[in-house]
Amino acid sequence: MVNEANPSFHADVAAPGIADWTLEHTTLTQQIGQPAVLPSGSQPPAVRVQAHADIQLTVELVSSSNSRILDSVSETSIAAGDEQLIVLHAAQLADGLYEIRIRLHTTEAASLYDCFTFMVMDKDSLSPEQSQIAFLDVNGCMTYVPDYKGNRIADFSNCGYMGGGVPIPDAQVRLVLSPASAEGDDTARIQQAIDELSCMPIGKDGLRGALLLQRGTYRIAGTLYIRESGVVLRGEGQGEDGTILHGTGAIKRDLLQVLGSTPNLMEEKGTDITDLYVPSGSRTFHVADASGFSVGDTIAVLRYGNADWISAIDMDTITPRPNAGGTKQWAPFELLFDRVIKGIEGNVVTIDAPITNAIEARWGGGRLFPYDDKGRIEQVGLENLRIDSDFDPEITDTQVDARPGNTTYCADESHIVNFVTLNFVKNAWIRDVTGYHLEHSLVTIDRYAKWVTVQDCTVRDMVSIITGGRRYCFHVTGQLSLIQRCDTETARHAFVFDAKVSGPNVFLDSESRIDFNASEPHHRWSVGGLYDNVSSPIYIRDRGWMGSGHGWAGANYVTWNTEGVLTVQQPPTAQNYAIGHIGKQERPFLPNQHDLRPRQDGFWDRYGQHVEPRSLYLQQLKERLGDNAVQNIAKAPEAK
């Protein structure tokens, strides 16, 4: 059970069964998710160590800006049962980011690593337009203020097609179809053309080419499939006079599926992460043995969450749904971060994009695995299309989430569920697509999809009963995806993340209206999402018994310059951030009369005004790849 007097979950750091250590300083905040800041000119904290076995410690004070070691206490021996205070000496600390790095040696185990982090700065120097924890410095670059364990707002700039900042290509047209002269089912002839294109050679750009569906209506009674790389399905516009894919009949189905084959996690070749704590937002960590890995390898970083962690976040004591059954307590689970190795120095590994949940030894730790994703297809695009579906307008309802409503709406469910589901795919895109009369989503990015961009898309007039599992217009379960400049009406969850989503993922410059619920991480510890300049009701909270026991739905989320109704709570062991929000601060679902246990608010910063820079994602992209990267993903000028 989380300590109710301190729900931010501060706890001693430990090498289980070997030693405990804590920082000692009179003013430094030592809570997960709260800025660890010392005033300019401060002295560094000391480290108090309690040994449970005979150990040797090396402790270093390091300036993070240049990796300069300012003081070091090397190979200090501490006998089992003894306690020692390690004092680090330095001149008055200049403004900047600092780390206290710890290396633990024992006679019976490999070295273990840990780190504390703090910022030295004058907080009064920040202008009202600057966030307190993520702001532009005098050189126009982002500075991030961590908590005492190094958790910080993540770099989201690797999200999107080709890892962000790369223009979507214009594939050469290889095949052309025109609408049939008479009404009938066009499924087979479109599929035949897709299959023909799928057999054409792949160019150096990874593309086979585009199948152009000329303007007009194409009636689709089944489901279309793209199963090969380099295939682009293109129409001639998303307006009423464009290319319309019309799902016919009364069968629930996807209109299109983009599918490769399952990646292979090579578990027998894994190696342990030897940091006792890898903070959220990190790209670099120690492993027991990096000799089996190379720069450029696709790998999986697994973060384990054991039964003790489930108990620490209270997800084994979810209050049952009042006057009903079906609430499930959580079991231990893993988060898989799908990454590429960018650097190896000894047994220190650097990856291309940050992890977005801390990896902690006492909760199960983490491992690094080779990850064979050769079965994934890539360079697949869908563009310039209008989607519609048959439905029975005589089937109506008024209820909204099992409550009586005042408006009659179309509620037929025997028709198209999703326009497209993408899985086992990377480096794909959907652009300039409008969807009408769908039951669930325009786009579902499934668990094994990554580096997907969805942009300039619209959803209107959804048709279903308004209850659970319906009207998730843009539905993300994969990772490293970017959804930008999208617009919805009549959604329940317009911009939504599923369970156990391993971020980062980004919704940018998007808006929803006529909402029947909120955009949100929907359930069971989805991590690392960014709502950046999104106008929509957004809830990031403990959902408790909702659904079948959705509980803490999101961790390490950021809302940046959002507008609308907003709820942001802090889950134990993590944080959520609301920065520059304008709109109503909504009361959380919990605590309530059925569950009085207190929850902590998330980190609210500059509530009631927007901050600079306008977009966190675009600023991060600019800093990583330059101005051209930002221009590469900007909206193209309208043709005259």
The DSSP-derived string for 350-367 is EESS--SS-EEGGGT-EE
- pLDDT given for residue 324 in this prediction: 84
Sign for the pseudo-dihedral over CA of 466, 470, 475, 477: positive
How far CA 243 is from CA of 240, 253, 385, in Å, comes to 8, 20, 5
Mean pLDDT across the chain: 95
Q: Beta strand 538-540 with 520-521: parallel, antiparallel or unpaired?
A: unpaired
- pLDDT given for residue 75 in this prediction: 87
- pLDDT given for residue 112 in this prediction: 93
Residues of 1-19 as b/e, b for ≥16 C-beta within 10 angstroms? Answer: ebeeeebbbbbebbbeebb
Rounded mean pLDDT, 91-106: 90
Higher pLDDT, 7 or 235: 235
Query: For the CA atoms of the chain, what is the radius of gyration?
Result: 26
What distance in Å separates the CA atoms of residue 219 and residue 229, rounded to the nearest whole number?
25
Asked if residue 13 has pLDDT above 80, the reply is no
Interior CA angle at 495 toward 437 and 599, to 5°?
A: 135
- pLDDT given for residue 248 in this prediction: 98
Strand partners, 529: 505
Q: Beta strand 96-105 with 112-120: parallel, antiparallel or unpaired?
A: antiparallel
Cβ neighbours around 124 below 10 Å, total: 6
Strand order in the sheet with 13-15: 13-15, 19-24, 46-51, 83-86
Rounded mean pLDDT, 26-34: 96
Q: Is 15 helix (H, G, I), strand (E, B) or coil?
A: strand
- pLDDT given for residue 105 in this prediction: 82
Q: Are 438 and 387 in contact (CB under 8 A)?
A: yes
Provide the terminal-to-terminal Cα distance of the chain, rounded to the nearest Å: 63
**Residue 405's pLDDT band (cuts 50, 70, 90):** confident
Q: Is the peptide bond before 404 cis (omega within 30 degrees of 0)?
A: no
> Residue 271 carries which side chain, given as an amino acid letter?
T
Q: Are 98 and 71 in contact (CB under 8 A)?
A: no
Residues with Cβ within 8 Å of 631's Cβ and at least 6 positions away in sequence, in order, are none
**Residue 638's pLDDT band (cuts 50, 70, 90):** low
Asked if residue 422 has pLDDT above 90, the reply is yes
pLDDT digits (tens, 9 = 90+) for 113-166: 999 999 999 988 899 999 999 999 999 999 999 999 999 999 999 999 999 999
How far CA 249 is from CA of 253, 413, 415, 528, 631, in Å, comes to 10, 11, 7, 39, 43
- pLDDT given for residue 89 in this prediction: 86
DSSP 8-class letter at 161: G
**Which of 13, 7, 6, 113 has the alpha carbon at shortest distance from 363?**
13
Rounded mean pLDDT, 576-580: 98
Rounded mean pLDDT, 178-199: 95
Cβ neighbours around 488 below 10 Å, total: 26
pLDDT digits (tens, 9 = 90+) for 283-315: 999 999 999 999 999 999 999 999 999 999 999
Rounded mean pLDDT, 405-422: 96
How far CA 127 is from CA of 31, 47, 130, 138, 522, in Å, comes to 25, 34, 5, 12, 35
Kind and range of the H or E run holding 46: strand 46-51
pLDDT digits (tens, 9 = 90+) for 498-549: 999 999 999 999 999 999 999 999 999 999 999 999 999 999 999 999 999 9
Asked if residue 8 has pLDDT above 50, the reply is no
Q: Are 102 and 52 in contact (CB under 8 A)?
A: no
- pLDDT given for residue 108 in this prediction: 64
- In terms of phi and psi (left: phi > 0; alpha: psi -120 to 50; beta: otherwise), the region of 73 is beta
